[in-house]
Amino acid sequence: MLKIKGNTDLHTQGKSINAVGCILTAAVAFVASLGKIMGYPSPVNVVVAVMSGGYIIPAFLGSALSYITFGNIENGIIQLCSILVIAGIRLTVMHDSRKDNPIFMGLLTSGVMILFGCVMSIAVPADAYTASLRMISALIGGCLVFIVKTVQHNYRCEGVFQLGGLNGVFASILYIMTVSTLAAAPLPYINAGRAFGAFALLAAVRKYKTAGGAVVGALTTCGILLYSPPLAGNTLLLATSGLICGAFVQFGALAAVVAFIGVSLISLVAIGVNSDTFFMFADLLVGCVIFIACPVSALKKTAAKFFGVRNSVDLVGQTASSRLNFASKTLGDIRGQIALVSAAIDKKAENADLKVRVCAGVCSSCQMFRMCWKKSPTVAKQAFEQLEQTVMKYNGISEHDVHKYLPMCCMIPTLTTVFNECYKNLLAEKADNIRVRELREILTEQLSSMEDILSDLSYRVGQVRAVDPSLSAQVRDYFARLGYPNAKACVYIDENSTQRAEVFLTAEFKGDLVRLTTAISSIVENDFDIPVITQVDNISKLSFNELPRFEISVGTFQASCGDNEYSGDTLDTLEVTACEKYVILSDGMGTGKRARLDSMFAVSLARRLLKAGFSMPTAHRLINSILRVKGWEESFATLDLLRLDLCGGSAEFLKSGAAPAYLYRDGAFKTIGGQAFPAGILAECPPDSFSFKLFKGDIIVMTSDGVGEMTIRRLSSMLKRGIVQPKEIAQQLGEQAMSVKNGGKRDDISIVVVFVDVRG
């Protein structure tokens, strides 16, 4: 990770974070202490304290402040004592593993609250109704702790809360307690619980149509009933209003709101005007106003962060990602085994000894073996070593050579023949070993590339977090009405909680992209950018993305080393999606047509691989392999890749033999460079990688090796003179670089200037 900013005082930062956490926890506990269950204080503030972990003392202070402010300190004494005892147990004797155990923490909460309820009933005698409410409150508190802990555990494991089955029951209980708690807030003329219920009902109608409206309306009634039964009569009409207004959501959110208000008004009149009628209608109006004022994108992102539906499509995606990842690891294991076999074979080949083979083939069967090797082994060994050096130097030996070093040998003709034949066989074996080694290296390299490809595909598949089948069907139907009956569509949320839509057509799309984008944005109720269209054969892929947070403007400059020469540099920009953009720069070795061809080849391959969804390291590995086996002499080129994530606000560099790049931020330059070799030189040629966060006003400059650092540093003076267009800056930097000659010779020049800004 490239470090841009200076060191931060982590101790001070930690204090600020703790202070904010304490304030927020105390505020939530203050509101939770207002809750009532049939007029008796709710245990929700105890649940908040238990779930706050290290912030349990601020939760106690917030609860105490709430009881003191509204004069309920006597009624809340059980809750306050329970919080203090649980805090003491957490901070002293409780093991860390118990703190995250839902069953243990639920039983602990209920047990402590029951204990103090019994003590309170003995110390201050109360009627049977109050005593029973104390026991019910204690049991509800323990159940809520168990539910919240379980939901928290499921969310950590799966990254999304599955709103169905037992989780649906848990969510319903938490919603009822939230409504009950908010309903007790002492607001003038407004019941916060019912206003929140109206807002939640409309949000559920938007997502789940009539079923969502009816269910949320009924749950809201349960929450109000738990707080105050007299208010539940009018609240009961929410279920009917939600059921009916859900039929109007297809005409837009505003139509659903108007239908909701109209149906509610008619229902209130039909029930009969009473003391709560006007307050009820005011609560509904407040909820509708909040719903209309709340941005749709904020609702979607919040919902996507906490809730989702795991259907068969999601499960298939998870299974595919797991299988691809498993296949990738399997290929990695095979590659490791091939490497071990290769090392063993190479070691055996290195141990091959010519003189040992000759001695084993001739001398071991000779009658004079004892005379030559037993009485004077040193002389015989030196003689064979001299003969081995001679045969390697002259590609063979003669009988005269053998007689020269072994005059006592009685098998000179045979020894000469065997020496020459063994030498030829050894050369043939070494040649075969070299060819086999090259094949093993190519196979290992290809397996490694396949491993990376499968890993990339697994990552891409795993990015899909929650698919929306309803919106996918609506998008597919829209394209069918446009004349594309075989269209396949998928609307999903990725791992960054960003909504995306992908459409595959069996023909080229012909139509107005602006009108298409407006229509798709209306269907999914989100602001999409113009789609990125990728076409392979007869298949067209349209990728829709949310409008990114950042936007860039790019300026480029290129010039050859001579007036009539071809530039050996090639640069290109690529937009994979509205959020994912690339800048590709390659410098071929040398100048002229040959260098130009190598760099164009590398950039073209990189563009196709990145557009197909491969990562930068995988694209580099494949380009390196292809350049090595291309068959031309000295066929290699530098590779400089910049990936910009405009939604996440990050940048990544991959450099393979490339010149340094520069980041200009807050008036200072940061050099981004490495020492990796160009692609196509070695089988294993790992590139250098750098990454950093993007901020408004960042300027990134990429160059070929014909541009010096002093030239780039003129950028600062240009900005001071009011030159703020990237094209103009690139032009002036290029002209300055052309005027600088090293040793009377100028190199090919390429400059890319990228301005980063926040979308307005």
Q: Tell me if residue 643 falls in helix, strand or coil.
A: strand
> How far, in Å, CA of 434 to CA of 444, rounded?
15
For 331, 332, 452, the CA distances from 456, given in Å and listed in that order, are 14, 14, 6
- CB 67 within 8 Å of CB 32: no
Element spanning 37, H or E: strand 36-37
DSSP state of 372: I
Q: Tell me if residue 396 falls in helix, strand or coil.
A: coil
> How far, in Å, CA of 9 to CA of 26, rounded?
26
At residue 634, the pLDDT reads 56
At residue 556, the pLDDT reads 92
Q: Tell me if residue 481 falls in helix, strand or coil.
A: helix
- DSSP E strands: which ranges in 249-318? 307-308
| Nearest C-alpha neighbor of 565 from the set 594, 592, 597 | 592
> How far, in Å, CA of 447 to CA of 458, rounded?
16
At residue 727, the pLDDT reads 93
At residue 455, the pLDDT reads 66
At residue 436, the pLDDT reads 67
Instruction: State the residue for tokens 């937009």.
Output: 575
User: Token pair of 300, please?
Assistant: 């979607």
For 175, 714, 751, the CA distances from 736, given in Å and listed in that order, are 66, 9, 11
DSSP state of 365: G
Could you state, in chain order, the average pLDDT of each consecutive group of 10 residues for the chain (760 residues)? Answer: 39 52 89 84 88 86 88 82 87 70 87 89 81 87 89 67 73 88 86 90 83 86 86 83 81 83 84 83 90 77 57 46 55 61 62 70 69 68 79 81 77 80 80 68 64 63 67 89 88 75 88 91 85 80 86 90 74 86 86 79 86 81 74 69 89 90 91 78 78 92 87 89 90 86 70 89
> How far, in Å, CA of 32 to CA of 521, rounded?
39
CB atoms within 10 A of CB 401: 18
> How far, in Å, CA of 261 to CA of 259, rounded?
6
At residue 250, the pLDDT reads 73
| Nearest C-alpha neighbor of 544 from the set 587, 570, 578 | 578
At residue 533, the pLDDT reads 85
- CB 617 within 8 Å of CB 687: yes
For 1, 57, 101, 116, the CA distances from 690, given in Å and listed in that order, are 6, 43, 41, 59
User: Token pair of 633, please?
Assistant: 């002499």
Element spanning 69, H or E: helix 56-69
